[in-house]
Structure 1
Amino acid sequence: MNIIESKNNNKIKELKKLKDRKWRKKTGEFLVEGYRFVHEAWNSEFHIETIIINVDNKDKYEDFKMKHNISVEEEIYVSEVIYKEVAQTQNSQGIIAVVKNKSIEHNIEDGLYVLLDRLQDPGNVGTIIRTSHAAGVKGIVLTKGCVDIYNDKVLRSTMGSIFKIPIIEDSNLEFTRKLKESGFKFVVSSLEESEDFYDCYLKGNTVIAVGNEGNGLSEEIYSLQDVKVKIPMPGGAESLNAGVAASIMIYECVRQKNCD
């Protein structure tokens, strides 16, 4: 077993580049850390190409690999110092996987979609992905300007849901327009001239549009609206966190559909 101990190793240099969004986009690969996350990736339709193991955790990895019948093309054992060069978290469990991004060719299905328009906060996006997975949302649509979903903070916030729900990156709004043409009701939030969200009929095919944390929805997305709503805030707060607001709206759709 060879153990990489040099920062100048070419393989380590390539792996470290995956911390950069542009390089992730170019290669179609991203990193996930921790045994649970690697297991989620292994059980998904995504493909794990390489696993990096801190050599101090070799025995734990061997047990994990045997338990879950994991077999990958490449295993790289590294010293703790080198492992920290690749890891993106301070308290990593000693295992990192290189995952090949899965291209999505998604056919429109009846139900609920969530559209994220230029959301930038990784925690918000990760929370919405996780909530959408839990609620059975058919897909999440991302417009140009959203945070990279393979950012390590987004990935950790999803708690593995990134592998369980279709995510459609729609930079030219082609998929968004197809939803509109297919008769989906576009529900947008607005503080002016809006109906109470809980009075909105959400049992049909619906798109919930969530806008940028500071600037809200773009004019292009706002113009697609069929109904403008506001979530009641009797306590007098000025606004809600985007992840919280989206979760409230998603689960109102679930509640209404379960009332049939």
Structure 2
Amino acid sequence: MDLNADLGESFGAWTLGDDAAMLQVVTSANVACGFHAGDPLTLRRVCAQAADAGVAIGAQVSYRDLAGFGRRFLDAAPDELAADVLYQLGALDGLARVAGTRVRYVKPHGALYNAVVAHEEQAAAVVSAVAAYDRSLPVLGLPGSAFLRLAGEAGLPTVAEAFADRAYTPAGTLVPRRQPGAVLTDAGEIARRCVAMAAGEPVTDVDGGPLVLAPDSICVHGDTPGAVAIAREVRAALTGAGVALAPFA
């Protein structure tokens, strides 16, 4: 099982999360690319830290939305969105290569992640950008999404993801953050859910029903209150259950 987190989201004097600590826990880092968060110096530092820790780097591409942290849907034209994704991917890959590594996968962030679950045009735009850059790059996304379907049709490797600290609808989509209970904060509960996910056993959806997710990678958010402690408990629970942790890429 792969354990990933969103990192590199500090900006200038504004610090978000503890990248150095999280890199000692996760196996893959979804690194911001400057469009929703992250400045060049922050991104260069986190790429170097990830390389030193042996953590795989993924480009976390987003809408051009610094003010909204990439959590607002933008009705971007497909060609513009594809160019934005290419720009972000190339920039982060350059910083990663200077650190002695490279971008090994791509994951959309925030509102773009949610949009490409069903928005065919935007999903196709992101897929076209990744395919144009490097067809060997895996893409990380929600199982059953248009994004993963179109990526597979384009010949890109696809990786199914689940979220440790997010509530799910019965349909297997994420409960919107604006709704109560969308973000889970109890470390013990989160860890137990992750062990169940890794074993292919059901977790409880927002309506109280059983939901089987069976991911290839589990995301623990780096900006959740107590994120490092939660991530450590998740890792300990998974390894304690006999789950080997390693990057998928």
Q: What TM-score results when the alignment is normalised by the length of structure 2?
A: 0.36
Give the strand-richer structure, 1 or 2. 1
Q: What TM-score results when the alignment is normalised by the length of structure 1?
A: 0.35
